[in-house]
Chain A
Amino acid sequence: MSVTDPHFDVAVIGAGPAGMSAAATAAGHGLRVVLIDSGRQLGGQYFRHPAPGLTAPWLSKLRHGWSHFEQLAARIEASLRIDVLFEHQVWAIEPGFTVRTDRGPIAAANVVLATGSYERVVPFPGWDLPGVVTAGGAQALLKGNLVLPGQRVVVAGTGPLLLPVAAGLSVAGAKVLGLFEANPLRGYAKHPIPLLTNPSKLLEAADYARRFVGNRVPVRSGFIVIEAQGADSLEAVVVARPDGTGRRRIPCDALAIGYGLAPQIDLGLTLGCDHTLLADGTVALRVDTDQRTSIPDFYAVGETAGIAGVQTSIAEGAIAGLVIAGDRTGLKALRRRRDRQRTLADVIRTQHPIPPAWRDHLTPDTVVCRCEEVPAGAITEAVEHLGATDTRTVKLLTRAGMGWCQGRVCGYAIACLAGGGTPTDLLAAAKRPLARPVPLGVLAGQDQRNN
């Protein structure tokens, strides 16, 4: 592997299912590929797995579609044309392209953005207590480390991720006290066609449901967590219907909460890619049928083009790989598969909105921005008394969203509290000039001088 190689045909950012598929396909057609990831292994979040030697009897039960991973990993490891760079944090991409990492720049003629997503959570009193984790965080802890976030766990929020998270925690030995899905799920019945044309999805869901019954996890829909209680760590959560009725206190030591996934597209937005607002209020990069963004030779695959499941990610990675290689064989079938999956994903998205009632349960001292410890009351003051009518101004006046995470965690909430969640506000919440913090020494170019 040579980091100093001056030029690659393709730089793939992110070694999850979409990125692995893009890299394997492009390299399979003779292109020189660099596959860059901030982690230490292939697989991304979906195929996250423990380090060699770390195992548990129930591990295989957490894995779905594992053979896909093994095949992709084998193709990447066998390829002489792929340089895999782990523990490289990409902080910006310049036109042309120069991929700026914390370990120096990498030049490539094409870029495939496969940076996946991160979880959306909306604030509620006590959500900053240790013991409250995101649903995806609970899953990463379990899949990558075989560690549970707690022994008595509540799973809550909305979206298709909650089921596998609850199932996994249960399988691994946690007592899952309940799965609270915010939305009533009757809506799927109105859209029977996409489900029928996607039998694998149906089977997967049924498989989870079976495991649930077996482990006796109570599932309730139409409930949200309105408060987390505890002194220095989580002791209980209060769940209720969005209007506050049906209140119930559940003692527990962990809460896994998630309100769906948001595409991680800051690198593309800073470069100037066109974007699109999806039904659930997330912002994705706009792509054509070949996964091209509005910037020539810059592709977005998998979740960066909108959350749509692992099958979509693998198909889209392959599409981008083929298109860059100039080989149209097999493209039609891949596109059909991708389109089918995306149709289903669009239906699922409409069924899992964040219930707007989360705002009603905030108190003035509820922390909204966890990094800068900005309470809801400060945001209200900025909006009502200081003329902050949009996300940018609220951030300027309160420092909300200005901390370490650069608004990834509170951005959606600020967009709603500041401007009522207009498209402009939601876009402002998705933008950040640096995709990762970067040491001044690296920014100063000392990484290049030292090499």
Chain B
Amino acid sequence: MSVEFSFDDRSMTAHPGQSVGAALLANGVRSWRTTRFGGRPRGLFCGIGVCFDCLVTVNGEPNVRACLAAVADGDVVSTQVGDGHVASATERGADLTSDGRGDERD
């Protein structure tokens, strides 16, 4: 039995009960977030939900801790850019981006 999920449009598999972060690492992905100011790549760091460095967007929901969240069948996981709110809102079709001002600080 395995779990199928996608990461930035790539199909991947994982074992049920694995965390999103573990599943990504097992598939050779080492980073899944870029920072707000420097645009630097980040991935797993503390592994126990304390450091919030492994934040990722799952099914349009930003700021999910990859080390804690269990990966589920059909999950759409995507690289989180910056604070995660602009891109994730676009994916959800939500109305948080209508003015496009989210880019101003970058």
Chain A residues engaging chain B, CB cutoff 8 angstroms:
38-40, 45, 50-54, 118-119, 128-134, 136-141, 144-149, 232-233, 264, 370-373, 403-405, 408-409
Contacts and interface: CB of A to CB of B under 8 A. Distances in A.
B12 interface: no
Contacts of A233: 30-31, 41, 43
B50 interface: yes
Nearest to B15: A54
B56 interface: no
A53 B18 CA distance: 11
B48 A136 contact: yes
B17 A149 contact: no
B26 interface: yes
B30 A147 contact: no
**What are the 8 A-B residue pairs with the smallest beta carbon separation, nearest first?**
A51-B17, A137-B47, A145-B22, A404-B52, A130-B43, A130-B31, A147-B22, A140-B47
A232 B43 CA distance: 11
B46 A118 contact: yes
Interface string B54-78: 0100000001000110100000000
Contacts of B21: 141
A138 B47 contact: yes
B68 A38 contact: yes
Contacts of A138: 47
- Name the prevailing secondary structure of the A interface residues: loop
B42 A130 contact: yes
Interface in B1-42: 1, 15-19, 21-23, 25-26, 30-31, 35-38, 40-42
Contacts of B42: 128, 130, 370
B52 to A, nearest CB: 3
Considering residues A45, A136, A371, which has the most beta carbons from chain B within 10 angstroms of its beta carbon? A371
A361 to B, nearest CB: 19
Contacts of B94: none
B17 A50 contact: yes
A128 B34 CA distance: 11
B7 to A, nearest CB: 14
A99 to B, nearest CB: 18
B77 to A, nearest CB: 15
A338 to B, nearest CB: 25
B22 A144 contact: yes
Considering residues A131, A134, A147, which has the most beta carbons from chain B within 10 angstroms of its beta carbon? A147
Contact of B51 (A45, A141, A370): A370
A54 B50 contact: no
A149 B18 CA distance: 14
Given A53-B1, A408-B50, A40 B44 contact: no
11 contacts: A54-B17, A119-B50, A128-B53, A134-B46, A137-B67, A145-B19, A145-B22, A147-B25, A233-B31, A405-B51, A408-B50
B25 A373 contact: no
B47 A133 contact: yes
Nearest to B33: A130
Given A132-B45, A145-B22, A409 B36 contact: no
A144 B26 CA distance: 13
A139 B22 CA distance: 12
A148 B43 CA distance: 14
Contacts of B50: 118-119, 264, 405, 408-409
B11 to A, nearest CB: 18
B41 A145 contact: no
A76 B55 CA distance: 33
Contacts of B17: 50-54, 145
A138 B45 CA distance: 9
Contacts of A372: 37
A137 B46 contact: yes
B15 A131 contact: no
B45 A134 contact: yes
A37 B41 CA distance: 30
Nearest to B21: A141
Contacts of B25: 141, 147-149
B30 A131 contact: yes
A45 B48 CA distance: 8
Contacts of B26: 145, 147
